[in-house]
Amino acid sequence: MPMMWLFLTTTCLIHETLSVSELFDLENEVNPEVWMNTSEIIIYNGYPSEEYEVTTADGYILTLNRIPHGRAQAGLTGTRPVVYMQHALFADNAYWLENFANGSLGFLLADAGYDVWMGNSRGNTWSRRHKTLSANEEKFWAFSFDEMAKYDLPGIIDFIVNKTGQEKLYFIGHSLGTTIGFIAFSTMPELAQRIKMNFAMGPVISFKYPTSIFTSFFLLPNSIIKHIFGTKGFFLEDKKAKATYIKVCNRKILRPMCSEFMSLWAGFNKKNMNMSRLDVYMSHAPTGSSIQNILHIKQLYRSDEFRAYDWGSEAENMNHYNQSRPPIYDLTAMKVPTAIWAGGHDALITPQDVARILPQVTNLRYFKLFPDWNHFDFVWGLDAPQRLYSKIIGLMREYL
């Protein structure tokens, strides 16, 4: 974490040294998608866009985006198979659209004939509302990926099923998005029956062997983390700060510093990233989550078990789970056909961690390790369309 603050401080200092004319030039040089929301990015790339609100059973209001068909398919009739995509921590659903249209999984799926839906996790910039609670209240932020699996995913899938009339769909997740799917599909058999196939990229189940220097943050006591960051939101979007580091990272001479920062976070494979899109990547993160979600991830760190959130005392756990310790999530109970991909240079979810969970996935239909990939290559990699996305589409056509 100290390296993160060093990076942000450096960008702010550099920003202060730039002249007004230089800032104006930078404003004009950035990619247009930097300043767009998901719907605007979809339309900008020539695709039809739909946006919906989904209210969960516990009152959170989530934004859901849809690409109903590809650019050249407006007049075609017939039912298109549905795919739902769940983004990673601190991201939003523009995550799936941040490369050019011919290199972004969301657009490629739409062009391949799929009805593409993309959700936003509770607490991020686009899903920070509730029927009765304010985001200023601590109670609003009392959630982790447990609630995302228990309420968000079922609510979204129910909405999609009702809207499309299709009872089954494909699920794609990356990083913490995979965690939400694994929990939901292993604990809710009725929901699992609606999933044709589960595609998991860099799955976060075991978090015992990360090599990222930023995971040293999890060595801090909970009390220190709460004292520094509070007890509500964490890494919420700051538009002023975002504008600063976008402008800094858009300067060719400073891009190596920005890419080095990302490599320290997630692993190295810098040659596989389109550096001209770095401003787009950074403009959609971080979008925020809850401190409780971070503390739940911390509970996974170096642990041998995959458990629900520990509320900190036997009494609180009894209140939430009717047992003194949080329940263990049993992955062997998940029967959904599953495909998993891992990166050999992934500093967050290492091959060792992925290897720990593979024997627990009883319906594993496909596994692939890309030795040279890091944690971001699954969504930003220049070679992802050829090495990964084509395989996902092939498996979808196999598991109709």
Domain boundaries, the chain: 37-398
Confidence of residue 29 (pLDDT cuts 50, 70, 90): low
Q: Which residues of 88-104 are buried (b: 16+ CB within 10 A; e: fewer)?
A: bbbbbbbbbbbbebebb
The catalytic site residues sit at 175, 346, 375
The band of 278, judged by pLDDT with boundaries at 50, 70 and 90, is confident
Instruction: Of 23-37, 53-67, 343-357, give the lowest mean pLDDT range.
Output: 23-37
Residue 27: its pLDDT value, please?
47
Residue 26 predicted with pLDDT over 70: no
Q: Tell me if 34 sits within 8 A of 246, measured CB to CB.
A: yes
Residue 391 has pLDDT above 50, yes or no: yes
CA atoms within 13 A on the CB side of 373: 23
Measured distance CA(111)–CA(101) in Å, rounded: 10
Residue whose token pair is 């068909």: 69
**Best CA proximity match to 298, nearest among 290, 314, 369:** 290
Q: What is the pLDDT of residue 75?
A: 63
Instruction: Please report the pLDDT score of residue 76 as a whole number.
Output: 67
Q: Is the pLDDT of residue 277 over 60?
A: yes
Measured between alpha carbons, how far is 48 from 343 in angstroms, rounded to an integer? 33
Pairing status of strand 129-130 against strand 169-174:
unpaired
Q: What is the pTM of this model?
A: 0.92
pLDDT of residue 64: 98
Q: Please give the pLDDT value at position 14.
A: 44
Q: For residue 270, what pLDDT is reported?
A: 76
Fold of 37-398: Rossmann fold (3.40.50)
Please state, as a whole number, how many other Cβ atoms lie within 10 Å of the Cβ of residue 287. Answer: 25
Q: What's the pLDDT tens digit per position in 131-177?
A: 999 999 999 999 999 999 999 999 999 999 999 999 999 999 999 99
In this model, does residue 5 exceed pLDDT 80? no
Neighbouring C-beta atoms of residue 347, cutoff 10 Å: 20
Task: Quote the percentage of the chain above a pLDDT of 70.
Answer: 92
Burial per residue of 240-274, b for 16 or more beta-carbon CB atoms within 10 angstroms, e otherwise: eebbbbbbbbbbeebbeebbebbbbbbbebeebbe
User: What is the band of 294 on the pLDDT scale with cuts at 50, 70, 90?
Assistant: very high
Which pLDDT tens digit goes with each residue over 173-182?
999 999 999 9
